[in-house]
Amino acid sequence: MTIAVLVAWLAAAPAETPTPPRPAQAILADYANAIGGREAWKRLRSVHIKRGLTVAGQGASGSEEHWATADGKNLSESSLRDVGTFRQGSDGRVTWSKDPVFGLRKLEGAEQEEARINGAWNAEADLASLYAKVTSVPPPKDAEKDAGASLECVELQKKLGKPSVLCFDTKTHLRVLQTGVQPSPGGDIPYKLVFGDWRAVKGIKTWYLEKMTAGPTTVEGRIISLVLDEKIPASRFKMPKP
């Protein structure tokens, strides 16, 4: 076979058909099983997490505390040195935020939808129920290279606001990467989240390391304390008075 004939044969040969991605529901089901299964998560009644925060390259540090209960109440409080304290919570009816820039606000629209998802109880074990639609999609550009693993991803479409993409390791089925935009009064802020250091606690698995990049800033959060099923007073979640 001459080179010319070989090249012509290769050009005429049908291209390989790429393997279609698995259904999004199957990907999310494998994730739920990998972190302990829905039944293990259903047994929990509350969670209280403390994280240490570090701003990469700036030397700034801080802390974050998160409380949530099975009846739909949640509160996150983050403090960064020389920046201030940021609080966001819900008493099960009203979702609110208080920060040094925009003050105390009742969240509405896309912001409220984002907060509802982030604060949902047992969200990790049943992600599909939180979104209007979940669809399998290819990994974002360079995502597998950055993660050092083969990934399968799903697009999570919200009832309000822009979708996000969540990617899982094809071997462990644990979440590795998330991209999306965070709505704010100042406009949508693109972000990337990376998850790692997975550990087992009382029959469930959760990540202890989280890195969030938004623009030129990367904040690393590492869990230093995780307590399950402690009693948390309802008053903690109420919207502060103006």
User: What is the CATH number for 44?
Assistant: 2.50.20.10
Tell me the per-residue pLDDT of 79-136, one tens digit each, with 9 for 90 and over: 988 788 999 999 999 999 999 999 999 999 999 999 999 889 988 999 999 999 999 9
Tell me the per-residue pLDDT of 18-73, one tens digit each, with 9 for 90 and over: 677 899 999 999 999 999 999 999 999 999 999 999 998 777 889 999 999 999 99
- Mean pLDDT across the chain: 89
Q: Read off φ and ψ for residue 241, nearest 5 degrees.
A: -80, 145
In a domain, 31, yes or no: yes
**Mean pLDDT, to the nearest integer, of 166-179?**
96
Residue with tokens 């360079």: 142
**C-alpha dihedral, 110 to 114 to 116 to 118, nearest 10°:** 180
Tell me the per-residue pLDDT of 183-232, one tens digit each, with 9 for 90 and over: 888 888 999 999 999 999 999 999 999 999 998 889 999 999 999 999 99
d(C-alpha 238, C-alpha 105), whole Å:
13
Q: Give the domain range for residue 163.
A: 20-237
The residue among 51, 50, 29 whose CA lies nearest residue 38 is 29
At residue 149, the pLDDT reads: 82
In a domain, 52, yes or no: yes
In a domain, 111, yes or no: yes
Single-letter residue type at 86? F
At residue 242, the pLDDT reads: 83
Counted domains in the chain: 1
In a domain, 200, yes or no: yes
At residue 6, the pLDDT reads: 42
At residue 15, the pLDDT reads: 52
2 has pLDDT over 60: no
In a domain, 147, yes or no: yes
